[in-house]
């Protein structure tokens, strides 16, 4: 614990590192507000559903536990990785915030209605605080683990884990008819672009992240 405290002091005694970290918290809060506004708007304006080559040809499966609890475990693990090495916080949070902000733009201009056979999501669940039903394009469950696989790319264990989670979440939202196929497939391509945007926009944060390595 003493060594951890000394490490935190070493990192945050640098005013620039402290500034980057505080900026990341401000940006993630801003992105979550934007997400809530965009999601409510998209849900209110949602039109009819459309047919889908996958959803129209498979029955619906109850994947509520993966959709909800899988997301909770995923974020707890990300928090653990950041707390363990606080130098990670700025780049992880800013990259995530950029992802959420860009997704907010997409869902604001895409108003497809939810597929009629989708599973019921408990409105009191944790995930329901971040998804409102009309925020379909593109899949956050698929994209965010994929983003983390790039952020932690140098650690092959984390890279494989996050890529596997991205595929598992992507398959699960299709099985639950919670997203259209295009929402899941597009997430991989858009997320790749978002990561490279983050590299360009948050170069100082990435330098701080790399200063301690990405090993668990």
Q: Are 191 and 143 in contact (CB under 8 A)?
A: yes
- Classify residue 215: in a domain, yes or no: no
Residue-wise pLDDT tens digits, 69-104 = 999 999 999 999 999 999 999 999 999 999 999 999
Instruction: Provide the token pair at 100.
Output: 């959420």
Residue-wise pLDDT tens digits, 142-174 = 999 999 999 999 999 999 999 999 999 999 999
DSSP for 198-216? HHHHTHHHHHHHHTT-S--
- Distance, in Å, from the CA atom of 202 to the CA atom of 19, rounded to the nearest integer, reads 13
Instruction: Provide the token pair at 111.
Output: 């108003």
Query: What is the number of other CB atoms lying within 10 angstroms of the CB of residue 46?
Result: 18
Range of the domain at 121: 2-210
Least reliable range by pLDDT among 27-31, 60-64, 125-129? 125-129
pTM: 0.93
- Distance, in Å, from the CA atom of 46 to the CA atom of 136, rounded to the nearest integer, reads 10
Domain count, the chain: 1
**Which residue would you say has higher pLDDT here, 27 or 119?**
27
End-to-end Cα separation, the chain, in angstroms: 17
Q: Omega before 26 cis (within 30°)?
A: no
Instruction: Provide the token pair at 21.
Output: 């970290």
HEC string of 115-182 equals: CCCCCCCCCCCCHHHCCCCCCCCCCHHHHHHHHHHHHCCCCHHHHHHHHHHHHHHHHHHHHCCCCCHH
- Classify residue 45: in a domain, yes or no: yes
- Distance, in Å, from the CA atom of 95 to the CA atom of 144, rounded to the nearest integer, reads 10
Q: Are 167 and 122 in contact (CB under 8 A)?
A: no
- Classify residue 32: in a domain, yes or no: yes
Of 41, 32, 179, give the one whose Cα is nearest residue 108. 41
Least reliable range by pLDDT among 7-16, 81-90, 109-118, 127-136? 127-136
- Classify residue 216: in a domain, yes or no: no
């Amino acid at each position: 614990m003493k060594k951890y405290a000394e490490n935190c002091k070493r990192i945050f005694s640098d005013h620039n590192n402290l500034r980057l970290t505080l900026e990341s918290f401000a940006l993630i809060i801003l992105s979550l507000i934007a997400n809530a506004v965009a999601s409510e708007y998209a849900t209110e304006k949602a039109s009819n559903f459309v047919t889908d080559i996958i959803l129209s040809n498979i029955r619906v499966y109850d994947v509520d536990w993966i959709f909800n609890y899988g997301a909770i475990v995923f974020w707890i693990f990300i928090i653990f990785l950041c707390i363990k090495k606080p130098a990670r916080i700025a780049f992880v949070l800013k990259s995530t915030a950029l992802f959420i902000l860009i997704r907010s733009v997409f869902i604001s201009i895409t108003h497809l209605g939810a597929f009629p056979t989708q599973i019921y999501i408990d409105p009191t669940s944790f995930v329901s605080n971040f998804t409102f039903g009309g925020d379909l394009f593109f899949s956050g469950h698929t994209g965010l683990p994929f983003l983390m696989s790039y952020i932690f790319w140098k650690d092959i264990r984390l890279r494989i884990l996050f890529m596997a989670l991205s595929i598992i979440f992507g398959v699960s939202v299709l099985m639950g008819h919670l997203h259209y196929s295009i929402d899941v497939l597009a997430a991989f391509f858009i997320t790749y672009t978002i990561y490279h945007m983050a590299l360009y926009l948050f170069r100082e944060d990435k330098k701080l992240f790399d200063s301690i390595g990405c090993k668990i």
